[in-house]
A and B are shown apart, each in its own frame.
Chain A
C-alpha cells in the first residue's frame, strides 16, 4: 500500500522538491539560449555560495550542533584548508580530483538523504530500504558518470593523462556494461518494491517521484550539447536551492522547539532564531546573498557576475573605431563600477536626507 509523507508540506514539496528539477532544467535551457556563458558563474554566486552559508549557519549557529560536533567543526576546516594549500602547491590535479569526486558523492548523498526523509515522514519501507535506496543512487549516478559525454570527457582525459592505455573500444564496452548493470539493479529494486507492496509494507510514492525527477535533471542535462553550461546551471540550482530550503525548514523547526521548551534549552542562537522565523524568510535569503557578496569581494572576483552577464561594464564602453578609441579593459571596467558605487552611496544619502530632516514634521521635532 502507498502512504504519503512530505518533507515540509504538499505545496512546498511540489515547488521545491518535486517540481524544482523541471524548473531548474527550464532555467538552464533559457540561460543557454539567451544569456552569455558567464550565467553559469552567476548561478554559482546566487545559489551555490549562499548554500554554503546555510551550512555554516546550521553548524555554527545552532548550539546543539556546535556542542555535538565541536571537534570536527574546529579541526575539520583547519585540516581541509591545510591540505588544500599543500595540494595547490604540490599536486593540483589531485586536489581538483578530490574536490570533484567528493562533490559527486555529496550530490548523490543529498538526494539520497532527502529521499530518506520521505520514507521517514511517511513511516514507509523496511529496515533494508535505506540501503537498497543508496545502492540505487550509486548505480544511477555512477552509470551517468561513466556514460554521459559531460563526464566521459573528464575521465577519458584523465585516464590518458595518467598514462593508462585503454582503447576507445574497451571504453565503449565499459559503458555498455555499466548500462547493463544499472538496468539489472533497477529491475531488482522494482521487484523489491513490488514485494513490499505485496507484503502490505507501506511505500511513499513521493520518494520515487523525487528520485525520478532528480535523475531526470541529471541525465537530461549531462547529455545536452553544451552539457557543461546546462548541467552546471540546472544541477547548481537544484542542489543549492533544495539544500537552502531544507536548512531553513530544519532551523525553523528547531527554533520552534526551542521556543516551546523550557528557558535555557533553546537550541539556536538568538540571531539565528531571528533569521529563520517564518516571517524573516527574506532576511534569511538576504543574509545568504550578503555572504555571497563578501565572498566575491574576498576572492577578488568580478561583481558583475551577479548580473548573469546582462551587466557588463566593458560592453558599455566598447570600441569607437571611427575615433580610433579602443574598449575598456577589465581593470578600467572595475574602476568604473567603483566610481558608480562611490557616487551612488552619497546620492542615497542625499535622497534620505531630503525627507528625514523636515523640521515641520512633529515626529522630527520630538527628536530635536
Chain B
C-alpha cells in the first residue's frame, strides 16, 4: 500500500476523469446558440457588452438563425416565396456582416471562423470582388495551414447566384406571360363572348 502512495494524485485525477467522462457520454445535448434558457451568445453579450468576442458570437448566432427560416419543401411547391426569402436572407446577412465587421475592427484575429464566415457573408451578399479578395487574403495570412478552400466556395456561390438569377428571371418571365395571358383572357376570353369589348373598340 505504501508503494502506491506516490500515485495518489494521479489516481485522483484518473478517477475524476472517469466520473466526468461517464457523465459526458450520458449528458443531454443542448444547442447553446439557439436554446432560450441556456443561450451562450446572449450570456456573453450581457457579461461583456460591445466586446469583439460578443460581436462575433452575435454574428454567428444571427447567421445560424438566418438559415433556420428555410423550408425547402414549401419553397419547391411555391417558388414565388423565393424572392421574399432571398430579400429577408439578404437583410439578415447584412446584420451578420455588421457584427463581424465590428469584431474584426476591434482586433479579433485569432478566430478562424470569424474571418472565414465574414468572407462567406461577403460572397453571399455579392460584395465588391476586391473586398472579398481582401477578406480571403486576410484569412489566409492568419491561417495559412487551414485546409478549407474559400476560393472554391466563392466559385460555388457565384454558380449558385447565376442559377438563382436565371431561375428568378424565368419566374419573372412566367409572371409576365401569365399577366399577359390574363389580360388577353379578359379581352378575348370566354367571359367576353357577346360581351363588352376592350375600351375604344366598337362592335362591327
Contact = CB atoms under 8 A, between A and B. Distances in A.
A314 B140 contact: yes
A228 interface: yes
Nearest to A313: B144
A156 B147 contact: no
21 contacts: A32-B109, A38-B145, A76-B10, A79-B10, A79-B14, A90-B21, A91-B21, A102-B13, A149-B47, A149-B48, A156-B43, A160-B43, A165-B38, A168-B42, A225-B107, A225-B108, A226-B108, A304-B144, A309-B141, A309-B144, A326-B151
Contacts of A157: 32, 40
Nearest to A33: B107
B28 interface: yes
Interface stretch (A57-65, A92-100, A342-350): A92-100
Interface residues of B, number: 48
A72 B46 contact: no
Contacts of B39: 160
A340 interface: no
Interface of B: 3, 6-7, 10, 13-14, 16-17, 20-25, 27-28, 30, 32, 35, 37-40, 42-44, 46-48, 51-53, 106-112, 140-145, 147, 149, 151
A91 B43 contact: no
Contact of B17 (A98, A164, A314, A319): A98
Interface of A: 32, 36-38, 40, 69, 71-72, 75-76, 79-80, 83, 86-87, 90-91, 93-95, 97-98, 102, 149, 152-153, 156-157, 159-166, 168-169, 171-172, 175, 225-226, 228-229, 232, 302, 304-305, 309, 312, 314-315, 319, 326-327, 329-330
- Going nearest first, the 3 A-B pairs with the smallest beta carbon separation are A91-B21, A168-B46, A229-B110
Contacts of A98: 13, 16-17, 20
A168 B108 CA distance: 23
If over half of A's interface residues share one DSSP class (helix, strand or loop), that class is named, otherwise mixed; here it is helix
If over half of B's interface residues share one DSSP class (helix, strand or loop), that class is named, otherwise mixed; here it is helix
Contact of B107 (A168, A169, A226): A226
A76 B17 CA distance: 15
Contact of A164 (B22, B38, B106, B143): B38
Nearest to B147: A330
Nearest to A229: B110
Contacts of B21: 86-87, 90-91, 94-95
Given A160-B32, A315-B140, A330-B147, A226 B52 contact: yes
A227 B141 CA distance: 19
Contacts of A172: 46-47
B46 A83 contact: no
B37 A165 contact: yes
A160 B44 contact: no
